[in-house]
Structure 1
Amino acid sequence: MIPQNLLSLDPNNTTKIFKTMPLVGVQLHIQDTHVMIDNGILQLTLSNPDGIVTGIRYNNIDNLLEVLNEESNRGYWDLVWNSTGTTGTTGSFDVIKGTSFNVIVETEDQVEVSFSRSWGSSQDSKLVPLNIDKRFIVLRGCSGFYSYAIYEHLKDWPGFTLAETRLAFKLRKDKFHYMAMADNRQRYLPLPDDRLPARGQALAYPEAVLLVNPVEPEFKGEVDDKYQYSCDNKDSQVHGWICTDQPAVGFWMVTPSNEFRSGGPVKQNLTSHVGPTTLAVFLSAHYSGEDLVPKFNAGEAWKKVFGPVFIYLNSGMEGEDPLWLWEDAKQKMGIEVESWPYTFPASDDFPKSNQRGNLSGRLLVKDRYVSEENIAANGGYIGLAPPGNAGSWQRECKDYQFWSNTDVNGYFVINDVRPGDYNLYAWVPGFIGDFQSPHLITIAPGSEIEVGDLIFEPPRNGPTLWEIGIPDRSAAEFYVPDPNPIYINKLYLNHPDRFRQYGLWERYAELYPDGDVVYTVGTSDYKKDWFFAQVTRHIENNKYEGSTWEIRFKLDNVDQSNSYILRVAIASATFAELQVRINDPKAKALFTSGLIGRDNSIARHGIHGLYWVYNVDIPGKLLLQPDNTIFLTQPRNTSPFQGIMYDYIRLEAPPSSSDQ
C-alpha cells in the first residue's frame, strides 16, 4: 500500500539536520575482478576492468542497485550505433565494457578511476569505432559520486552513426517505489512485474502497458509508459527515486550543465521510469527522429566529453517525511549548478573555468507592427552552438551548446563556454522564427566578449489580420481532451501537463466523428476548438484517413493586386505533410511541405518536437469578400501516430504604402 505520509509534503518543512558523518579520507581498494572506492559515506563498487557499477552501499543498505540483476545490468554506460551509410534510429546496443583499468587520481581528498576501451582496425565490426574512456570520481565528504566519459573517433577510422548514448542505473525494486522529477511530477510507481504479460496488457507500442492485475491494486486500470516522464533538457536537472523504508533514502541523477547534451534546451529526453530506472541521456533521437542521429564520416576526427553528472545520495531521520529528500535534492542540484564547470575532473579534455570564455550582450526584437520601438527580448533563449543556419541548433548533435535566458530588459550572459567557433542563436517566446548572429563568434580561453545590442527581426510582411495560438514552440495551449478513462495516469489528472496521457490521439475521432476541425476566426476559441494535434482518423481494420481542417474568416476589403502571407509554425510533425488550399478544398494545393518529421511526439506525449516555420504567399486574387476559408490538409494516413502539432498560425495583410 502507498504510505499516507507520501501523499503530501509540507512546503514549510525546509529545515533539516542530517546525521553527522566522520570526514574520513577516500580509500581505493583494487581486487582482481572489482574496484571499490570508500569515503566513509558510501562505498562504490565497479567491475574490473569492465567499469560497470555493480554496487552502491549507503546508509546501511548493502546495495542500492538491483541485486537480482546480472552485474552488467545494474549501473552502466551504453550506446546504440550502426555502420556508416545506414539510416534510421536503431542499431547495435552496446553496454560499454572497458578493457583497461587505470587510477587517475588517488589522494585522501579524491579518487578518480578510468575504465577505457580502445578500438583498432583489427577488431571486427561488432564494436563501434570509438576510443571510450569512462571515469568515476569519489570526493572526500561527498554523499555521492561523479561520472563522465570521453568518446574519440580518429581520422583514419571508418564512419558510423550514433543513435543514443546514456548512463543508466537499475535500482532495487524492493526498495525504490517513489519517483520524483519535478514539484508537480512525482508519484508512487508500479513494479516492473506489473508490466509482464500476466499482469499487464500491451498497448499500441511496447513502452505502454495497461495494468490489469498489478501487485498493488491502487494501480489497476492505469497506463505505465516511460515516455510520460520525459522532460526538456532545460528542465531536467535532477530526478530520481526515494526508498520510503525508515530511515528513507534518496537516489538522484543531477545534471549540472546541458553543454554536452544534443539538440538544445527544448530537446526532450527520458528521465526516471518504472524499473526502477534512472537515466542520464546525453544523445538520443527521441522527439526528433533521425535528424538527431549524428553521422560520422570515414576520416572525420571527433572527440566529446559527456558529463560529468552527479549521482547524489541522501537520507532522512527515522520517522521523517521521506519527501523531504526531494527538497534536499533540489538544493543540492542548485549547488552543483553553481559549481560548474567542476575543478576536480582530471582529464585535460574537460576545461576548467579559467580555460573557457564568457559572452554577454542584449537582445532586442524589431517588429514594427507590434511596436514602433525595439522590444526587449524578455525570457528569450539565447545560445552558442556550432556554426550553421538559423535554427540549426535544434538538429545539432555532435558538439557542445551553451544556452542562457534573457532578462526582462533583454540582457544576457553566457558563461564558461569551451573555446571554439560558434554562431549565436536565439528565439523569443511570443515571436516566430529564429535569430542568428551575422558573424562567427570565436571563444578563446579567458575571453570576455561583449556583443552589444543585437536586433532580431522575426518574419513579418504586413499587419496581423488574425492569429491562432501562441508562438512558443508548443501545442500545449490548444485543446487537450480528457483521457479515455480506461487509459489513465493518475498523476496527470487535473495537471498542467494533461497532454501526457496515453491514447489522446484516439479521442479525435470520438470528438469529430463526422467531420474535422472547423475554426471560425472571431468566434472560436483555440483553447477549446483547436484540437492539439491534426492526427489521422481510424476507420476500420487498422485503416486510417487523413484530415482537412478549416479556418473560416472574413475580409471586408481584399487587395487583389498584392499577396497576403500565411505563416504556419509547427511544433511537431511525424511522417506528415501539410497542404494549404484557399477557398476550394479540391483545388491544387497552393503549398505543400512534402513529407516532414519523425518526431513521434503524438505517441510519446511530447506536445512538441522539432520546430518548423512555413510562409505561404496567398495571391489576393484568390481571396473573396467577405467570406474565406483556408483548408489545412494532412493526407498521410498509414498510422495512428502520423500528424502535425501546430504552434501558431497567422495571416498577414499586404504592407501598406506607408509601411514600405
Structure 2
Amino acid sequence: MASQAVQLRIEDTHVVMDNGILQVYLSNPAGFVTGIKYNGIDNLLEPNSKNNDRGYWDVVWSEAGSAGTTGTFEKIVGTSFNVITENEEQVEISFTRKWDPSLKGKLAALNIDKRYVMLRDSSGFYSYAIFEHLKEWPAFNIPQIRTVYKLRKDKFHYMVVSDNRHRFMPLFEDRLPPRGQELFPPEAVLLVDPVEPEFKGEVDDKYQYSCENKDLKVHGWISSQPKTDPAIGFWVIIPSNEFRSGGLVKQNLTSHAGPYSLSMFLSAHYAGEDIVLKLQPNEAWKKVFGPTFVYLNTLSEGDDSLQLWEDAKYQMNEEVESWPYDFPASEDFQKSSQRGSVSGMLLVRDRYVSDECIIARDAYIGLAPPGEAGSWQRECKGYQFWTRTDEEGYFSIDNIRTGDYNLYAWVPGFIGEYWNNAILTITPGCEIDFGNIIYEPPRNGPTLWEIGIPDRSAAEFYVPDPNPKYINKFFVNHPDKFRQHGLWERYADLYPNEDLIYTIGVSDYRKDWFFAHVTRKQKDGSYRGTTWQIKFNLDDVEASGIYKLRLALASANLSELQVRVNNPKQDPPLFTTGVIGKDNAVARHGIHGLYWLFNIDVLALLLKKGVNTIFLTQIVASEPLPSPQIQGIMYDYIRLEGPNPFFP
C-alpha cells in the first residue's frame, strides 16, 4: 500500500497537518495544538479543556532584579502564521510572536518562533522553537521554558516514566478538595476519597516522577481501552540534551496526574535561582529549543500494552541516532555538516590511591560555555554537549554546535572536577583530539577515614520508611525509596532526644547516616537547627601538620553548615559555608541537587590523641518555614586526610 503524502489544510481559525497516520490540529495564528486525531479517536488531547490548554509552549518570566524562581506565567500566543515547507515528504509551519517596547511589562521581551513539523510515514510530529532577545530590549529573568500536553482523562490512565516507574495513576480530580488534602509542600496531595478506591490513602506528587536528563529521553501514557479497542501510546521523546540546561544529572519533571506530559527545556527545579536565565542590559541572546518528538503507537487486540513502551524506547533510540535532524528548515538549527567533534581519554592521578594513572570509567565529560569549575551546573543560556567515558576512559562527542566552550569532567568515585579553562572553539567539520587528559582530584594527604561514596548523590545513605499515613504504595520496596513523601520529618522520629552521632569504625553509613541533615520539628510545631557528630580515634597527632577535611554536599537549601572540632561551642566555628543553596531537593524527593565541595584546613592543635569529635551544625531554622521549602543539606561524601608526609 502506497504511503500518503503529507498534506496541509489551512482554515480561518485552524490548520491541519495530515500524513494519513495522524492529523494534528493547531489554532491559527496562535499555534496551540488543539487536537491530535489517531487510530479512530477524534482527539487524544482533553476535549473539555479550552483550545489554549491542550498543547502549548509556555514561559515564566520576571522583571530584572527580581529574586526567586517564580514570575509571570505566559502561554506563548502566536500572532502570525507562515508555511515554511510544504511538499509530499514534509510540512513545516511557523507561529511567530514579535515583541516591541509597547508590550513592556505585558509579555516577555522575546521574539518567539514556534515550529511544527510532520514527515511522511511518521507516526508523530516534531516541535521546536527559536527564542530571541535583542540587545536593545530590557533585561529580565526566565525561570522556565517548556511544552505541555494535556491528554484525555477518560482514556489515559497508565503512565510510564522508566523501566521501573510505570503505573496506573489517580485522576486529576482526585487531587482536588474534598477528594484530596493538600500537604506540605503543596504539590503533594493525600488522596482521601479518590474516584478509584485503590488510590485511597496514597500521596500523589509530580516530583516523585522527576528524572535526570541523561535518563529523560522518553516518557508518556498508555490508554486504558475497552477490550474491543487496542491500547494507544502517547510519548514525548527528547532526542538530545544539548538545549537543556544544567548537564546530564540535572533533574526535570516528566509526566504526572492530569494526565500531563511535559518537555522541560529550562527549569529551576533541583537547582533554584542559580539556574534562572538572567538576561542583562545590552545582552543579545538566541537559542533553539528542540525539536522534540510526539510519538504515537498502538497494539493489536490482546497484546500486552507495555509493548508500547518497548516500542517507544526503540523509537527513541532511532531519534537519538538521527540527531541532529536534517529536516528543520530554520537556519538557527545547525545540521551535522555545520558541527564539529572532540575525543580523547580521561585518566585520574591520585597518588594516595595508586602509583599509576587510573582509568576514568563512566566519567561525565562535556563541553559547556566558558565559565569556572562547576559552572555548567548553573549555566542556562547556551548549549551543552555531554557524554560518558567507556571502560577504557575513552570519550567522543560528535555534532557539537559551533561556538566557544570549556571542557569539564567529573568522575564518580573521586571528589571535585576537571576544568580546562582554555577556550575551545568549535568550527564546522573540526575533529579535535585531546589525547590523554589527566584529572588530579583534591588531595593533600592519606585518607584517615571517609563516609559515603563520592558520586554527587545521597542515595547510599539511610533512607527511612515513610510515615504510614503518607505512603505512595508504588514506591514500597522500590529502589527509589527516597521518593516517598515527608521523609525529612522522620528525622525527629528516629532521633527524638539527641541528634545523630556517627562513630568511625563502628557505624555504617548505609544504616546510621540519615540521608538529609535537616532541622528538627519541635512538639510546638517550630523548628530548630541540628548538630551531627562524627567521632573518630587518632593513634597520634602530627603536631606541626595540617589535616584536611573534605565536605562534598549533594544538595543544599537555605542552609548554613558550621564545622567545629572537639568543642561544640567553638566561636567562631572553624568553618562555615554561610547560607547556601536553593535547590529544594529534599522536599522534592531529588536525592541530590547542586554539588558543593568545601576543603577545610584542620590544624593539629585542634586535634588530640585518642577520641576526637567533629561537630556539623546546620544552624538555619526559620520560623515559620518559608513554604514550600525544606531547610537542610544532603551530604555526598566526607573525608579526613592526614598531613602530607612528602611536603611538611
TM-score exceeds 0.5: yes
Distance (whole Å) between structure 1 residues aligned to residue 471 and residue 9 of structure 2: 49
1:22 Cα deviation (Å)? 5.1
CA distance in 2, matches of 1:433, 1:328: 39
The 5-angstrom pairing of residues 558-577 of structure 1 reads 558-577=541-560
Q: Which SS does the other structure have where 1:440 is aligned?
A: strand
Aligned pairs (5 A) from 1:49-448: 49-245=29-225, 246-448=229-431
Q: Specify the alignment match of 2:604 in structure 1.
A: 620
Alignment partner, residue 563 of structure 2: 580
| 1:229 CA drift (Å) | 0.5
- Is residue 578–residue 634 contact of structure 1 (8 Å, CA) maintained in 2? yes
CA contact (8 A) 1:22 1:40 kept: no
Which one of 629, 632, 645 corresponds to residue 634 of structure 2? 645
* Partners of 1:358 and 1:414 within 8 A in 2: yes
Separation of aligned partners in 1, 2:161 and 2:97: 33
Given that 2:155 and 2:224 are in contact with CA atoms closer than 8 Å, whether structure 1 keeps it comes out as yes
Aligned partner letter, 2:612? N
Q: What SS does structure 2 have at the residue aligned with 1:172?
A: coil
Question: Gaps (5+ residues) in structure 2?
Answer: none
Indicate conservation of the 8 Å contact 2:457/2:592, yes or no: yes
Task: Map 1:513-592 to 2 at 5 A.
Answer: 513-588=496-571, 589-592=573-576
> Structure 1 length as normaliser, TM-score?
0.96
Residues 148 and 308 of structure 1 are in contact (CA less than 8 Å); yes or no, is this contact kept in structure 2? yes
2:480 aligned with 1:500: no
Matched position secondary structure for 1:437: strand
Q: 1:160: Cα distance to partner?
A: 0.7
Report the TM-score when normalising by structure 2.
0.98
Give CA deviations for 1:285-335 in whole Å, capped at 9, x if unaligned: 001110010110121110000000000000000111111100100011000
Match of 2:590 in 1: 606
Deviation at residue 490 of structure 1 after TM alignment = 1.6
SS at the partner of 2:312? helix
Output one character per residue of 1:90-138: Cα deviation in whole Å (capped at 9) or x when no partner.
Answer: 1100000000000000001000000000001222421111000000000
- Equivalent position of 1:594 in the other structure: 578
Q: Distance in 2 between matches of 1:561 and 1:312?
A: 66
Name the SS for the 1:291 alignment partner: helix
- 1:253-307 Cα offsets, whole Å, 9 max, x none, are 0000000000111111100000100000000100111001011012111000000
Distance of 2:138 and 2:570 partners within structure 1: 50
Residue type matched to 2:261 in 1?
T
Runs of 4+ in 1 over 3 A off after TM superposition: none
Residue by residue over 1:565-604, the C-alpha shift from the partner in whole angstroms, topping out at 9 and shown as x without a partner, is 0000000001001100000101121000000000111110
Cα drift, residue 438 of structure 1? 4.0
Find the aligned partners of 1:628 and 1:619 in 2 and give their Cα distance: 13
User: Is the 8 Å Cα contact of residues 244 and 322 (structure 1) preserved in structure 2?
Assistant: no
What secondary structure is seen at the aligned counterpart in 1 of 2:293?
strand
Aligned residue identity for 1:593: T
Aligned 8 A contact 1:362 1:454 in 2: yes
Aligned-residue Cα RMSD (Å) equals 0.9
* Contact kept? 2:372, 2:421, Cα under 8 Å: no
Q: Is the 8 A contact 1:131 1:153 kept in 2?
A: yes
Matched residues in 2 for 1:510 and 1:496: separation? Answer: 23
Partners in 2 of 1:137 and 1:552 — Cα distance?
62
Residue type of the partner of 1:372? D
Q: Distance in 1 between matches of 2:178 and 2:376?
A: 45
Residue of structure 1 aligned with 2:14, choices 30, 34, 42: 34
2:617 paired residue among 633, 654, 657: 633
Any unmatched runs of 5+ in structure 1?
Answer: 1-20
Counterpart in the other structure of 2:456: 473
CA distance in 2, matches of 1:135, 1:502: 39
SS in 2 for 1:476: coil
* Counterpart contact for 1:560–1:623, Cα < 8 Å: no
Q: Give SS of 1:169's match.
A: strand
